[in-house]
Amino acid sequence: MADLSYLDAIILGVVEGLTEYLPVSSTGHLTITEKLLGLEVDAPAVTAYTAVIQLGAIAATLIYFFTDIVRFARAWFRGLAGPAGRADPDYGLAWAVVIGSIPVGVVGFLGRDLIAGDLRSLWVVAAALVLWSGVMVAAERAHSAYERKGAVRGEHSVTPVDGLVIGLVQCFSLIPGVSRSGATISAGIARGIDRVTATRLSFFLAIPALTAAGVFQAVEQQEDLVALGVGPMVVGLVVAFVVAYASIAWLLRFVASNSLLPFVWYRVGLGIVLAVVLAASWMPAT
């Protein structure tokens, strides 16, 4: 396969940065973009590059939430050290992140061949975009019920059980088109957590999940990545970082006063258009 061009790297970096944290599926959008660029979406080097440029988005998360991450880490270690530290609400939230990060790591590792192979089909992306939108609508309705009862919870009420449930739902995001943030935010608001807190928790859960995926792919397929071109890979990482940082700030402002429904309509529209394109054989599915 030819080296990845700098233009390809920039385009993929922008797509990754824009869609990694929006509930629209970064993997789905990257897969579509790769096809439009003429790349082989199921080629080992391409799937590795897709995972590695996520590290740019993760770096944006680490910097944006650095103060919070340090606060949670201190609370967690203080809680482990003695009972006095366990009274800190941040201790429970830290455990929610730790516990919630485990399921997707286990499922992702065990199913890595399927995820990088058969699931890398645009038919899967089209179906997941539409079907998971129904889950997001159901989550919004559940959240509205909590709002009517005045039972919406904030950050200091997040528990390890919340983390486990959200972490289990996050496993569905391994299917291209579902969206990791779409899965985790939906699970959070469906449990009565306010939208901003659910979104922040989604960001925190992304750090171990995406870092593990990126590092694993980089180590396992380093020769494939070098074949694509080290320079374009670095460019993609930098672009993904800058765009992701802006996306994080925008999404937190958006969810403070809006529901997920605008993303639902976008997802459904894109899924239908993609299905029509595939059915008409205007674009190959793999």
pLDDT (tens, 9 = 90+) of the chain, 286 residues, equals 446 788 988 999 999 999 989 999 888 898 889 888 888 776 776 777 777 788 899 899 999 999 999 999 999 999 888 887 788 888 888 999 999 999 988 898 787 777 766 777 889 999 999 999 999 999 999 999 999 999 999 988 899 999 999 999 999 998 989 999 999 999 999 999 999 999 999 999 988 877 877 777 777 777 777 777 778 888 889 999 999 999 999 999 999 999 999 999 999 999 999 999 999 988 887 7
The pLDDT, as a whole number, for residue 63 is: 95
Torsion of CA 6, 7, 9, 15, to 10 degrees: 160
- Taken as a whole, the chain contains a residue count of 286
Q: How far apart are the C-alpha atoms of 112 and 165, rounded to whole Å?
A: 22
Q: How far apart are the C-alpha atoms of 107 and 86, rounded to whole Å?
A: 30
The pLDDT, as a whole number, for residue 184 is: 96
The pLDDT, as a whole number, for residue 3 is: 61
* Cβ-based neighbours of 45, under 8 Å, separated by 6 or more: 1, 221, 224, 225, 227, 228
Token pair of 228, please? 């694509």
The pLDDT, as a whole number, for residue 221 is: 72
DSSP 127-190: HHHHHHHHHHHHHHHHHHHHHHHT--B-GGG--HHHHHHHHHHHGGGGSTTS-HHHHHHHHHHH
Among candidate residues 65, 60, 58, 53, the one with its CA nearest the CA of residue 16 = 53
Token pair of 134, please? 């129904």
Q: How far apart are the C-alpha atoms of 51 and 112, rounded to whole Å?
A: 12
Q: How far apart are the C-alpha atoms of 205 and 166, rounded to whole Å?
A: 9
Torsion of CA 214, 29, 193, 80, to 10 degrees: 0
* Cβ-based neighbours of 64, under 8 Å, separated by 6 or more: 203, 245, 248, 249
Q: How far apart are the C-alpha atoms of 163 and 101, rounded to whole Å?
A: 8
DSSP for residue 3? P
Beta partners for residue 153, in sequence order: 193
